Structure 1
Amino acid sequence: MAHNGIRNVVLVHGAFADGSGWRRVHDNLTNRGYRVTIVQNPLTSFEDDVAATKRVLDKLDGPAILVGHSWGGTVITEAGTHDNAAGLVYVAALIPDSGETSGQQYEGFAATPEFVIDIGDDGFGFLNDEKFKTGFAADASDADAAFLRDAQVPVNMAVFGAAVTTAAWRSKPSWAVIATEDKAFDQAMLQHMAQRAGAAITTTPGSHAVYLTQAEVVSDVINDAAETALARAPHELIA
């Protein structure tokens, strides 16, 4: 059951994916009494994805836990300033600060050569089909990895150059799930972003597709956020 008045959860997918990967988390949380809504990001621009997320938040009847995977972390960092967003959960996610772009988060950290993006002449990218399972979903079944690969949504690569206006984690509590075998981000990068945001960190075995392969772990973190967000003080960064 949802406690402290938070019964809404909003799930935001990342680049190269759609909302279908959240099915196990959706079902898990629905069984616990939550009302779960999944955002379908168009991945055409940062502004479009933030607008899609705020559109879902607009129609809720109360506070929500806002959850973002990967690129979805940048989206919820901006959209999370919405009045209905009570807490933020970052799942293998980017966590930029105000004025920062997603691309800047990679600076100074190790490269991830197994996460291969093929970019078309129109500036939209897909994950390489041959490297997809290794780079994105190494711990998924072959069938699940193939479905994710075949259901890819191309992302406008320009989104990674768009700066966040106001980072919601500066005024709202946050949580982070970090998968130890994530091939999309350097582990040091994930830890740095989460620690800077003052997030309560949960580390678990898993690939970048941890939201699919470790749905129970992810659901437990979201449940904890829903139970404690209204009582937990937000992180205040000391300049």
Structure 2
Amino acid sequence: MSIDRRGFTNAAIALGATVALAGPAATVRAATGGRARNVVLVHGLFADGSSWSEVIPILQAKGLTVTSVQNPLTTLPEAIASARRVLDRQDGPTVLAGHSFSGMIVTEAGMHPSVSALVYVAARAPDAGEDYGALAARFPTPPASAGIIYDGDEGRLSEEAFVRDFAGDLPAAKAKALHAVQQPFRRELLTGRVASAAWRSKPSYYAVSADDRTIDPDLQRFMAKRMGATTIELKASHVSLISQPDAIARLILDAAGQN
């Protein structure tokens, strides 16, 4: 059987041009096979995997397989490795979503070949090699920072700061219950830098919390704009995934191609 090599080459070039013109989303869909079937969620500081408990049932009702990573909060490489192990178990295209500090994890672990899109919820979104602390210093210091308490190498948020500055739009009783289950973080975790920025090559989505007292809202807007993210803005505290789970779930479903 003869092969028209010139025709084959021209067709390949045309296909490549079509994907390039369609942008990162089309490139990822071509590589991973279409709509995402899975969602992997990562929590940040002052929390654990249950912080996604309001969002998870909404996603599951849409037929998605959902896993909430238990971030060790020890070092950035260990935290990234914990997310990658979960991503290794996924069957098919996967949306990787992170809240707060775990945007660091999403940015690096999002390079995993299974990840089709990234979702940041009031989250850090550094560039490769960037000192996030130096970036954040360009914006007003958020009030919650003053409430961090260290016991030796471990940090946690005081109950007063948690209720007022971290979860300010939740009923006080619920905020106090969440404070009771927060996991301490190791100081070293805050010194890590990502080696890669997945948002530079994969479609990204960002939920800005306009009333955030933990990560400055203008810093969130800056990061979302820099990455060219599909962005929503919510009148919410830092924990919009708990206070406005429907809106966060819709954003994740958009990233999964399910809406």
In the alignment, structure 2 segments of 5+ residues that lack a partner are 1-32
Q: How does 1:35-54 map to 2 (within 5 A)?
A: 35-54=65-84
Structure 1 residue 169 displacement after superposition:
0.5
Mean CA deviation greater in 98-107 or 141-150: 98-107
From 105, 112, 124, give the equivalent of 2:135.
Answer: 105
Partner secondary structure for residue 160 of structure 2: coil
**Distance in 2 between the 1:206 and 1:166 partners?**
30
3-state secondary structure, aligned to 1:24 = coil
Alignment of 1:25-174 (within 5 A): 25-115=55-145, 116-122=147-153, 124-174=154-204
AA of the residue aligned to 1:118: I
- Deviation, structure 1 residue 40: 0.3
The answer as to whether partners of 1:101 and 1:160 remain within 8 angstroms in 2 is: no
**Partner Cα separation in structure 1 for residue 161 and residue 249 of structure 2:** 28
Partner of 1:223: 253
Cα displacement (A) at 1:113: 2.2
RMSD: 1.6
Structure 1 residues 114 and 53: alpha-carbon distance in aligned structure 2, compared to 1, 3 A threshold: closer
Q: Counterpart in 1 of 2:234?
A: 204
Give the letter aligned to residue 204 of structure 2: S
**How many Å apart are 1:69 and its aligned residue?**
0.1
Sequence identity of aligned pairs in percent?
Answer: 41
CA separation of 1:159 and 1:114: change in aligned 2, threshold 3 A = closer
Give 1:148 shift.
Answer: 1.1
Q: Higher helix share goes to which structure?
A: 2
Give per-residue Cα distances to partners, 1:125-147, cap 9 Å, x unaligned: 10012221111101112232011
Structure exhibiting the larger radius of gyration computed from Cα positions: 2
Amino acid at match of 2:53: R
User: What is the number of residues matched between the two proteins?
Assistant: 226
Q: Which of 161-170 and 110-119 deviates more?
A: 110-119
CA-CA distance at 1:120 after TM superposition: 2.0
Does structure 2 conserve the Cα–Cα contact (< 8 Å) formed by 1:10 and 1:66? yes
Contact 2:41 / 2:69 at 8 angstroms: preserved in 1?
yes
Rounded to whole Å, the distance in 2 between the matches of 1:101 and 1:167 is 13
Tell me what 1:8 maps to.
38
Whichever residue aligns with residue 235 of structure 2, its letter is: P
SS of the equivalent of 1:89 reads strand
TM-score (norm 2): 0.84
